[in-house]
Structure 1
Amino acid sequence: MLSRGLTPFPELAIDAALLYVPVGAVALVLSRAGISFHFRPIIVLLTVVHYHYAGFALPLVTGMAGRIVTDDGGRFGSGIVGRAMAATTLVIVVNLALIAVGITFSPLVEVVAVAFFTVAVVVFALSILGAVVPRVDRIRGALLSVAAIAVVWTMALALAYGYSAYPGTPQLVTIDEMILRHGSVNAFGFALPALLAFRLKTPESTAE
């Protein structure tokens, strides 16, 4: 990333995915060592999970999807979809770190960052349905469609949970509900089919 710079955005997203993995690893060490600072132990443990899915799987899928629709220079198109994918890719890369800052220091920053993050993920998921799925074969298209629909649902839950974190607001979703509905669907409804789609060989590469 240092030699290439911050563009193309799909490559930046993939680099960010790889850079977020050690963050999850550090959180795992802290969790297993029983070090939770001022947080509840469950929060540190869920940080481990979060940085392997929202931190690793999501930016990786974002970057791989971006590669399909960008030109040879890694640039998105100048149309509405292209601009939306470029902007949401950048938000997905940056806002995960902002959410962590908000959780640590400021509920207001957390709520705002979560709102931007969830909207960006939803817009990107819809862009996958409209721009990426038509460009891939049927099997990969079906897997990516399932992933895109699943992540829209999980982001709605994330927004509800982020809103509940602000002082004086009602608790719309509990941590237990987030683990069951948000976490499980992200793992098996989003990450698994999306990553599988990009691991599958295309008919052209198989023929070669």
Structure 2
Amino acid sequence: MSVLVGLIVMLGMLVVVPMGLRLTGAPELDRMRRLWPLFAVPGAVALWLPRGGPAAVLAACYALGAVLLALHAPPRLLRNLAASRASAVAPTEIALLTALVTPAIAAVALVAERSGHTLFGFGLGILALTVPHFHFAGFAAALVSGLVCRIADSAAGRFAALSVPLGTLLVLIGYFIGDRAELAGAVVLTAGMWTVALLTWRSIRGGQRDRITRLLLATSSAVLVVTMVLALSWALGEASGLPHPTLTWMAATHGLGNALGFALCSVLAWRRLRNHTDHEGRTA
């Protein structure tokens, strides 16, 4: 695993996921959020050890935490189905459920990569890039799309909250059945992320937001436009054979941009929005 990819994954493990769990507002996740460093710190250490037994064991510690997080999804889904008394689940909830599950996918890839073994026929290089992908295009993207839908409860907001999880799922399926399916997933995911960017810029960034919050939201919106173009160009190139960026270049541009410009700026902005809302509630 390269130094750049390792740093990006550390950001996801140690910062984006625990901050994101707080943003969900789900009381049942509070304990998981407090315990998260017990799993994330060993996982982060594993990134810098040579491939082998010790690195795999530490990665397995992180996988345990990610699986425990994913296990919150089924009972939450059942509660929502019972509350709605229907077979439908709100788009915001679908986005949140996706966010709860995707770190486990990343963790499984991490254990395989750190142990030095291929998984389902995927080489170590692809596994190494799968880890940040499902932290940021999985957890962060799904979480933010759900948060956006909560505020911008419109057709566009619901589209974003549904298309981001669907695109993530299609990309995962594309890993197994072919580049064209992965391209379809990239198209759906891009459409959802561009909708998130548009709604963030038009509906959430304005109002009585302070300057720093507006800057963070504006940065996350602008970065998404560029990084998802790169994602489309790579997926199109893989499916059609047209020239496209290399994986190394994608990690340095698309990956770094999504990690810092989108995910980190988004969770920081939404934390400020949440703190402002909590302060107003206590004042009232």
Q: TM-score, normalised by structure 1?
A: 0.87
**Are residues 24 and 147 of structure 1, via their aligned partners in 2, closer, same or farther at CA, if it must alter by over 3 Å?**
same
Q: Does 1:150 align with 2:223?
A: yes
Contact 2:201/2:218 (CA < 8 Å) preserved in 1?
yes
Deviations along 1:77-115, one digit per CA (max 9) or x if unpaired, are xxxxx2122112211012211111112212211112211
Which residue of the partner structure matches residue 79 of structure 1? none
Q: How many residues align?
A: 196
| Pair 1:46-2:129 in alignment | yes
Query: Of 1, 7, 19, which aligns to 2:101?
Result: 19
- Unmatched runs of 5 consecutive residues or more in structure 2: 1-76, 82-87
Q: Provide the C-alpha distance between the structure 2 equivalents of 1:32 and 1:205, rounded to a whole number of angstroms.
A: 41
CA distance in 1, matches of 2:149, 2:191: 17
| 1:166 CA displacement | 1.0
Unaligned runs of 5+ in 1: 70-75, 77-81
Partner amino acid, structure 1, of 2:185: A
**Structure 2 residue aligned with 1:29:** 111
Listed as ranges, the matches of 1:1-208 within 5 Å are 1-5=77-81, 6-37=88-119, 38-69=121-152, 76=153, 82-135=154-207, 137-138=209-210, 139-167=212-240, 169-200=241-272, 201-206=274-279, 208=282
Q: Is the 8 A contact 1:137 1:202 kept in 2?
A: no
Deviation string 1:49-89 (CA, Å, 9 cap, x unpaired) is: 101111111111111222223xxxxxx2xxxxx21221122
- Computing the radius of gyration from Cα coordinates, the structure with the larger value is 2
Determine helix, strand or coil for the equivalent of 2:116.
Answer: coil
Q: Kindly indicate which of the two structures has a greater share of residues assigned to helix.
A: 2
| Structure 1 counterpart of 2:103, one-letter code | V
Structure 1 segments of 4+ aligned residues over 3 angstroms from their partners: 201-204
SS of the residue aligned with 2:117? coil
**Displacement after TM superposition at 1:135 (Å):** 4.3
Q: CA contact under 8 A between 1:21 and 1:51: conserved in structure 2?
A: yes
Query: Does the C-alpha gap of structure 1 residues 159 and 165 become closer, same or farther in structure 2, counting only changes over 3 Å?
Result: same
TM-score w.r.t. structure 2 length? 0.65
Identity of aligned residues (%): 30
Q: Shift of the alpha carbon at 1:177?
A: 0.8
What is the CA distance between 1:149 and its match in structure 2? 0.7
